[in-house]
Structure 1
Amino acid sequence: MVLANGASSNVSNDAVSALLLIKADIIDPMDHLGDWKLPGNGVKNHLVHCNWTGVWCNSNGAVEKLDLSYMNLSGRITDDIQQLHGLTVLNLCCNGFSSSLPKSIYSLTFLMSFDVSQNNFIGAFPVGLGMARGLKIVNASSNNFSGLLPEDLANATLLEILDLRGGFFEGSVPLAYKNLQNLKFLGLSGNNLSGHIPSELGQLKSLESIILGYNAFEGEIPAEFGYLTNLQYLDLAVGSLSGRIPAELGRLKQLNTIFLYKNNFEGDIPREIGNCSS
């Protein structure tokens, strides 16, 4: 028992140190993190940090959830975040962070939900997040990320939401995304993506929403989209798509919304679209 208590205390002390280092590089004009401080005697009491704003712990004092959303924060997130090994939820949504994300994010292998949306993060999206095999949500929309789409996320096969809309990603959609068989939401619109829309996306039978518009995709809509029997929302508007609208879309009985405007389609609108009874 002494060993267990000692180990628990070490976990807590490490978490306190990491959180204070993280706070040191955050600009907090509203003082939302004002309670992130040690007691007056400077002693790191066991679990003291578990009552800090935005911090949730397990019984050992390890931080499992860090939610700093909607706090008008800016500055940068440092590599000290890798010391929070047990994080399952990281939410930095809706702030003013404008640095790059630390590469050490990859070490948070217990993450289940990762939300850095509606900030001004720059640079490449960090490689390695796909090693968090329990990951279900990745939302990095409305930022200034650039470079290629993170292909390694295809290793996080439990992923249900992948939202990378509204950035400066370029290149093509990784074919490896076909491995995301639990994916329900795929949002890649409003980037600088190009090339053909992979027909392999038609293998993602759990998909309910595909939002790929406002890119530079070319070629035809994959006929394989007709296999997405759970699809409800399809947005391919504003691009350079061409050819005919595939009649196979008529198989999608759950489809209730489809946007195809401002492309280069030709031919007739297929009568099979009338079979989309939703």
Structure 2
Amino acid sequence: MFTSIGHQFLWHQLGYLDLSFNLMDDDMSSFFCNETSLSVINLSHNRFTGIFPQCVANSFLLEDLDLQMNKFHGALPDTFWNLVTLNLNGNQFEGQLPRSLYNCKYLEDLNLGNNQFEDTFPNWLQNLSYLEILVLRGNQLHGPIVKLESKNIFPSLIIFDISCNNFSGSLPKAYIKSFQAMKIVDDEVQNNSVYYIQTDTGSTFYTILPEYDNSMTTTIKGVSTTFVKIPKVFVNIDLSENKFEGEIPNVIGELQGLKGLNLSHNRLVGHIPSSLGNLTNLESLDLSSNMLTGKIPAELTNLNFLEVLNLSQNQLVGSIPRGKKFETFSNDSYKGNMRLCGFPLSSQCNNVLQQQYPSSEVEEKFGFGWKPVAIGYGCGMVLGICLGWCVF
């Protein structure tokens, strides 16, 4: 419950400073500029105000900086050097993303979510070979994610969250195809880890190592979830609430380490790729509020760990696949798809199919459908034109 650091605080040669989860509301810019030995600063979950101190950005020794959930504002300095972790989530920073982060060759965790940054996608980060967590959600980022010619695009990334922005164009197929770390399933880690999270309802689960020391807030299985420590088995892609168009690329099915996939609230069209059935570790799949068509692939019944499925508000048709986890999903998973039928919906598939393909008067009267009539009409028209030309 501390409310202030105090100007006489002695931290000469201090290397690690953690004052997180207090009630401090100082302007921190005057506290750190005379201290050059700090390598870890954690001031998260306080009420600090003011702008980002230039002297902190200039520090060569600083490796981990966590200022999330405060009231900092203004533009960031563009002089970062040796950071491994930078978490500024939940402040009021604005302007462009600092290009100097490209100099941080060992950067592993970059969380700039829930601020007011206004920029395009930071393609210049793609060659940071150690970057594992990239969170840019809840800003004013915009434009397409440009495909750049590179053989080494985010090779270590396991958390990719750019939701709640204004990105447009096609889904970044070239990036998804290069997410090499998401293609790896570590069975030993998988079997010996339990998530350590705190939800809005107060539920808590504890974890066995390995884990990151960093914390993160994201949407998991439709619920805003805070990871006090991020488990290494958590592999997640969240591209929701943007303006992405086009089809869902088949290459997503190669990311077999995925736990969560959220593509909801975009403008996606086409069929749901059957390759998503290869994501056998998937626990949450949200494709809602798009313009997807066709049938639900039967291959999705292979997802034995799937706990949350949301395909609502699309234009899907046909019968819902039966078996395994699909028996546990409620009507809410499918609402807004008027031409879907079968369990758990009340509409029977026979009735829906009759509404989709009603028998014509020709079928009732003559016993054959419209296709033979159309073929005969077309052939007769061609023959008539040919004979007319000959007579002329």
TM-score (norm 1): 0.78
1:245 counterpart (283, 286, 296): 296
CA drift at 1:71: 2.1
Which residues of 2 match residues 85-124 of structure 1 at below 5 A?
86-124=82-120
Count of aligned residue pairs for this structure pair: 238
Q: Which moved more, 1:201-210 or 1:101-110?
A: 101-110
- In structure 2, the partner of 1:78 is 77
Any conservation in 2 of the 1:102–1:126 contact (CA below 8 Å)? no
Q: CA separation in 2, counterparts of 1:123 and 1:96?
A: 15
Indicate the residue corresponding to 1:164 in structure 2: 162
Using the TM superposition, give the Cα deviation of residue 141 of structure 1 relative to its aligned residue in structure 2, in angstroms.
0.6
The SS at the match of 2:94 is: coil
Alignment-derived partner of residue 63 in structure 1: 62
How far apart in 1 are the matches of 2:39 and 2:269?
51
Aligned to 2:138: 142
* TM-fit CA distance, 1:67: 1.6
Q: Deviations over 1:95-124 (max 9, x none)?
A: 001211122322222100000011011121
CA distance in 1 between counterparts of 2:287 and 2:41 reads 44
Match for residue 251 of structure 2 among 181, 196, 200: 200
Structure 1 CA distance for aligned equivalents of residues 327 and 236 of structure 2: 20
Structure 1 residues 37, 179: CA separation in 2 closer, same or farther (over 3 Å shift)? closer
Give structure 1 stretches of 5+ with no counterpart.
1-28, 39-44
Describe how 1:28-43 pairs up with structure 2 within 5 A. Answer: 30-38=26-34
The whole-number CA distance in structure 2 between the counterparts of 1:261 and 1:273 is 20
Please say if residues 40 and 64 of structure 2, whose CA atoms lie closer than 8 Å, have aligned partners that are also in contact. Answer: no
**One-letter identity of the residue aligned with 1:36:** F
The one-letter code sitting in structure 1 at the alignment partner of 2:71 is: N
Q: CA RMSD in A?
A: 2.7
TM-score w.r.t. length of structure 2: 0.56
Distance 2:40 2:153 in 1: 35
Cα deviations across residues 68-113 of structure 1 (Å, max 9, x unaligned)? 21220110012222xx2x2110111110012111223222221000
1:232 aligns with 2:283: yes
Contact 1:234 1:259 (C-alpha < 8 Å) held by counterparts: yes
Secondary structure of the residue that 1:202 maps to in structure 2?
helix
Given that 1:30 and 1:71 are in contact with CA atoms closer than 8 Å, whether structure 2 keeps it comes out as: no
Q: Distance in 2 between matches of 1:202 and 1:181?
A: 13
Post-superposition shift, 1:131?
A: 1.7
Aligned-pair CA distance for 1:182: 2.3
Corresponding residue SS for 2:31: coil
Matches of 2:327 and 2:109 in 1, distance apart?
A: 33
* Residue aligned with 2:237, SS: strand
Asked whether the 8 Å contact 1:32–1:71 carries over to 2, the reply is no
SS in 2 for 1:248: helix
Which has the bigger relative contact order, CA under 8 A and spacing at least 6? 1
Q: 1:158 to 1:261 in 2, by over 3 A?
A: same
**Shift in Å, 1:137:** 0.4
- CA-to-aligned-CA distance 1:153-203 (integer Å, 9 cap, x gap): 961211110001100011111222122132320000000001001011001
Shift of 1:270: 1.6
User: How far, CA to CA, are the matches of 1:156 and 1:35 in structure 2?
Assistant: 36
Do the aligned partners of 2:41 and 2:66 also contact (CA within 8 Å) in 1? no
Contact 1:253 1:277 in 2 (8 A): no
Secondary structure at 1:242 match in 2: strand
